[in-house]
Structures are given as structure tokens and as C-alpha cells.
Amino acid sequence: MGNHGKFSRYALALWVGGSLVAGNASLALAVENEFHVAYTVRSIVSNFDDGSCTSLGSGISGYANGVNGAFDKTKSFTTLAHKTYDGFITEQKARLNYSGKVDDDLKVIAQFDISYLFGQGQYMENYQNAGLKQPGYADGGGLGGGDVDLRTKALYVDYRLENKPVRFKVGLQPFTDPYKGTILSNVAAGIVSSYEADKFELQAGWFRLHAVELDLAKSGSGAESIQGGKYIDPATGLPFDDSWRTDDFYLLQGTYKATDALTLGASFYAWQSDWKSTFNSGTGAGSVSPTTGTTTATTGLTPLNQDDLELYYAGTTAEYKFGKGGVLDGFFVYNFGERVNHIAKTKQHVSAFETSASARIPVGNSGLLRSTVIYTSGDNNPNGKSRSDFGGVVNVDGMPESYFTYPGTLLLFTSQIGAVSNRNVLHSVANEGTGITAGFIGYDHNFTKKLFATANAGFAAANENPYQRQGHYIGTELGGEIGYKFKPTATIRLQGATVLLGSYYDGVASDGTTANPKNPANPYTARIVLSYLF
């Protein structure tokens, strides 16, 4: 357990501190209620982009695969066909944000999402494998409506100590790291305390990312057993019975304002995944010991209790402001610790890094030139004793919980503008261990107070080649948008982008053969987005 115990005590102290102050509210004054709404409706025409309301890898990609119902959770390009099919979907998303203030120092914040695909909902119970439909996923937009579809995206108490620069946030809250979201960027339940002074700000916090029982083996589904992250029994290919997994994320970070223009930051994060498993391959002879990996003849249960993963991130940031709205910034993160290779059952020492630099340069009064470059270290052999590939936090399904939205691209990475997409060429800056070198350049221009346009270009290349692809070049994205703010609270956008795939995807199309390999089609997307923010 090692450091884990210490961390747990710290987390407990934080929790007690957080709850004590939260319970210490003085007598209520007039309650101040505030509601805000963000509403987005968008139509997408694409051979790849399936928006954010379809389940992962379904929707348009279902068509693109040419196999109705293919549930491509890995969202990997290798399942894309040379011949793609255009899809057309419309979806809407509403966010309701409520904050209730008891007094100046204490408030509660709740945020709910109601989102769905037009047409997905009622009457589809019998068609759960028919492409668009996944059970319980963003229903409500089907004929007749009437589905229950409310998601809690934030629910926390925000408390400031009276007359002291100390603040606590307790509960389910958004968190994005200062490394442009490349380590952890999502909503998580936890406690963050901060100390704010003129020149510097300090934050300490703890998030519980997962507390789940993994008993998918009971369902006997082969499709589920291959999803990442679980202890897989090599003999049966099934995950262990009765695994209990807890994931914690601890953070300590600060910023220091050296001058009006220059801000420096540093942080230390720890991500720990703890597994307690009962080994039960259950078939007597031929079952495999979880500790040694050797075949034994015993039947029954062997308890397993070990730290599955301990990763640390030590990073620094610097930001320099100049002129009217100009910003230069950069960061470096060293990523180290230990992972467990579930298949080989060996520990892997991790030593990896990522670094990035960005510039935002105003052009005249109405233009903004943006550029960012990023490099993440990769590894040619992710199954070795040591690993040099940088990796942010991933969830229990093995999918990244980091979102590099900063470049503003629509397809290479997801974009926050006009709601994200579930399907991107790159899901994280790690790119499943290859590491990437990527660069982006964009230009925003306001023609009038209401009319604006953006042009974007970007490229990405893999640094290592663990999957023996034909080449390293991932692709070049070209895209842009035109927007019109027709009310102070409402904007309509036309967006479009395409990625010219590089040699990294040569010959990986699913309808190719060894004798006759084919390249997947270049993905494109075109969207009309209407957003309303009140």
C-alpha cells in the first residue's frame, strides 16, 4: 500500500475539514437563486462524426463500418471501411445550471444535462443492437418522447471561509488540469480546497474516480471481457470475478503571479488504482494463479489484493501576457510510477513526459492568431518491463478521461465549440501509447460584432510505432466555421472539417485483405449548430 495509506489519511482530513466548514454556515440570509441554461441543437452530415448523443462508436460509424450494430468501443480507425457511408443526425443538448446562495460565502451548485438524438427513444427496446440504439443512452428524442433522461453533471457545495482567502468545493464538480486537459478533464466527485492570495493560489484536493465492482465475467459476454483495464484470465479470456476497484486522484497545485504579465505554476498529481479481486476462473485444472500467472490444479477462490496502478505527474506551467490579449504559454509534465500489465502480470516502470507551447496573438482589433504544438513521449513496446509512453487518466473501460480541446479542431481532437463529438481521430494525446507530435494553427476573425469566422489547420504524427503501421504520419486536418450571433444570447454556426489521413492508416481499412489492403476513407464532418446561452 505504501504511500496510499498516507494519501488516504490526507483525504480523510480534507473531507472532515470540508464538511466541518460546510456545516458551519451562519444563519441564512435571503436565499439567492440563479438559473442558467446552455442549449445546443445541431445537425451533422458526416462519414465519421457521430456527435455526442449517440453511444460511443455507434451512430454514423455504424453505417461507416458497413455492419449495422457494430459496437466499436475502441473507436479505432482499423474498423473503418475503405468505402464509407454518409450519415445524417440531429441532436440536442440542454444544460441547466442552478446555484442557490444561502449567504455570500456558501452556495450549492447543481447542473443537469438533458440530451438526445432526434428520433432515438421509445419503441426501440427490441432493436437494441440495430446500430443507432444502445439501451439507456441519450433517449428521449424518439417518436412519442416520454423517456427519463436527466443526467447530473455537477452537484457540489462551494464554501468560502468568512474573511479568509480559503475556499472549499465539496461534491461532484468539474476539474480540468492546467495542462490543457491532457491528464484529467472531466466531472469527478471529491473535495478541492484552495487558498487564494494576491500573488499566489494553492489548491489541494482529492477525487474518487471509481468505486466499482467488476463482475462482468458473470455476464459471460466475450465482447465485454476484452474491454480494457480489467484483470483478464489468460486461460479463459474472461475478467476475474468479483473485482473491486477504487481509483483515487490526488492533487496539489499552485500558481504564482511573478509580475502582472508572468504567471508560473507547478503541480503534483497522483493517480492510484486499487484492486481487490477474488480469483475464480473456477474450472479446476487449467485455472491460472493471479499472482504467478502459472497454471494450477486448484479450484476455488484465491484473494488478490494489490495496488494495480500508481502514476504520478509532476508538472510546471508558465504564462506570459502581452499587449491587448496576447498570451504565450507552455508546460512540461513528467509522468512516472508503476503500471501492471494485466496480461503478462508484470509490473512496468513508467517514465514519460509531455510538453507543449502555445501562442495567442491579436491581429488588429478584430483578429486572433492561435497556434499550439504538443509532444508526448511514446513507446514501441507497451508490454515491456518499462514504459516510456505518456498517459493521462483513463476510466474503467480504458477510455481517456482527458480532453485536449484547446486546438479547436473538429476531428483530430474534439472541440468544445458547439458541443463535442464522441468520435475523433485521436482520443487523447497519448494515442494508445504511440505518443504524438502535433501542431495546430488557427485564425479567428470578427467581421462585425455579430459575424465571425474561424479557420483551422493541424497535423499529428505518431512518435513510436508499437502497432507496426506503414508510417508515422496520422493526418492533416483542414477546417473552419462561420458564426453569427443573432442575439446576445444566441449563435448559429456552420462548421466543416476534413482529415487527410496519413501513412499511419495505410492499409488498415476493415474491408481490405492482406493481399489487397485498402486505406480508410478520409473522415469529414459538416454541421449546423444553434446554441443558446442564458
Partner 1 sequence: MKKCIVAAFLLLAFGTAVHAEDSTAAPQGADDASKQKKDDCILNAKDCGDQALSIENKIQRLKEEIAKGSRVYTPKELQKLKHKLEDANDVLDELLFHPTNN
Please report, as ranges, the residues that interact with partner 1 according to CB under 8 A: 30, 32, 34, 36-38, 43, 45, 52-53, 55-56, 86, 88, 90, 93, 95, 97, 99, 104, 107, 109, 111, 113, 115, 137-138, 153-154, 158, 160, 174, 176, 181, 185-187, 403, 405, 414, 416, 419-420, 422, 484, 486-490, 492, 528, 530, 533-534
Phi first, then psi, for residue 403 (nearest 5°) are -135, 110
Beta carbon of residue 96, minimum distance to partner 1 (angstroms, whole number):
9
Give the residue with the Cβ less far from partner 1, 32 or 213: 32
Whether the CB-CB separation of 288 and 295 falls below 8 Å is answered with: yes
Which run of H or of E encompasses 7?
Answer: helix 3-22
Give the residue with the Cβ less far from partner 1, 394 or 419: 419
Give the residue with the Cβ less far from partner 1, 387 or 493: 493
Q: What SS3 class is residue 468?
A: coil
Q: 3-state secondary structure string, 274-335?
A: EEEEEECCCCCCCEECCCCCCEECCCCCEEEEEEEEEEEEEEEEEEEEECCCEEEEEEEEEE
Give the residue with the Cβ less far from partner 1, 350 or 426: 426
Beta carbon of residue 534, minimum distance to partner 1 (angstroms, whole number):
5
Q: Amino acid identity of 48?
A: F
Nearest to 170 by CA among 150, 191, 139: 191
Give the residue with the Cβ less far from partner 1, 185 or 409: 185
Beta carbon of residue 39, minimum distance to partner 1 (angstroms, whole number):
10
Give the residue with the Cβ less far from partner 1, 378 or 483: 483
Bridge partners of residue 462, in order along the sequence: 436
Beta carbon of residue 405, minimum distance to partner 1 (angstroms, whole number):
6
**HSE of 385, CA atoms in CB hemisphere, 13 A:** 0
Beta carbon of residue 43, minimum distance to partner 1 (angstroms, whole number):
6
Q: Are strands 302-322 and 326-341 parallel, antiparallel or unpaired?
A: antiparallel
Nearest to 180 by CA among 334, 372, 422: 372
Separation of CA 43 from chain center: 23
Give the residue with the Cβ less far from partner 1, 286 or 488: 488
Beta carbon of residue 90, minimum distance to partner 1 (angstroms, whole number):
7
In degrees, rounded to 5, the angle at the alpha carbon of residue 225 between the alpha carbons of residues 220 and 230 is 125
Beta carbon of residue 533, minimum distance to partner 1 (angstroms, whole number):
7
Beta carbon of residue 187, minimum distance to partner 1 (angstroms, whole number):
8
- In whole angstroms, what is the distance from residue 362 CA to residue 327 CA? 9
Give the residue with the Cβ less far from partner 1, 43 or 351: 43
